[in-house]
Amino acid sequence: MSWIIIFGLILSGLILLILELLVVPGTTVVGVVGFILMAVGIWFSYTNYGTTAGSLALVSTGIISVTAVYYSLKSNTWERAKLHASVDSKVNTEADKLNVGDIGQTISRINPMGKAVFNHEFYEVSSFGELIDEEKEIKIVDIVGSKITVVINETTKENN
């Protein structure tokens, strides 16, 4: 077995381990396969080239692995990769414009939460666990803080 194949196994394993740390969450097959590839590469260097070459491969793989993990986890790496935008909007900030008994229409299915429109403004609403399809007329039965609870409008139910 040539050094190119051994080097390729160890390098592939190292790349998979770095991907495991940075991209794939949790302990997955990627990290296990990466570790196995590195171990097989080191084992081949011991069996094909002797103790000295195998030990050299083991030590150099360890040093390179620790160095790669260190530089991968440095804060500068994460600063370049992370999202710098923040969410500063809030749900139903103007719920005080609504009153119990107001009639509106669902925009999405309420299962048990969804979107509805009241007075030409969109709000996130919830039901008491019932499913309400979209484009149904609804009525507000409770407003606590910014949480708006709705039911299907009974007058519409009777007409259908």
Predicted confidence band of residue 42 (pLDDT cuts 50, 70, 90): very high
Predicted confidence band of residue 91 (pLDDT cuts 50, 70, 90): low
Q: How many domains does the chain have?
A: 2
Task: Render pLDDT for 73-90 as a digit per residue (tens, 0 to 9).
Answer: 776 666 666 667 776 666
| pTM as predicted | 0.48
Task: Render pLDDT for 52-63 as a digit per residue (tens, 0 to 9).
Answer: 999 999 999 999
Residue 160 domain flag: no
Domain that holds residue 131: 95-153
Instruction: Verify that 44 and 71 share a domain, yes or no.
Output: yes
DSSP 11-24: HHHHHHHHHHHHTS
Angle, helix 3-22 to helix 29-73, in steps of 10 degrees = 80
Instruction: Verify that 30 and 63 share a domain, yes or no.
Output: yes
Q: Is the peptide bond before 25 cis (omega within 30 degrees of 0)?
A: no
Q: Is the pLDDT of residue 112 over 90?
A: no
Which uninterrupted H or E stretch holds 71?
Answer: helix 29-73
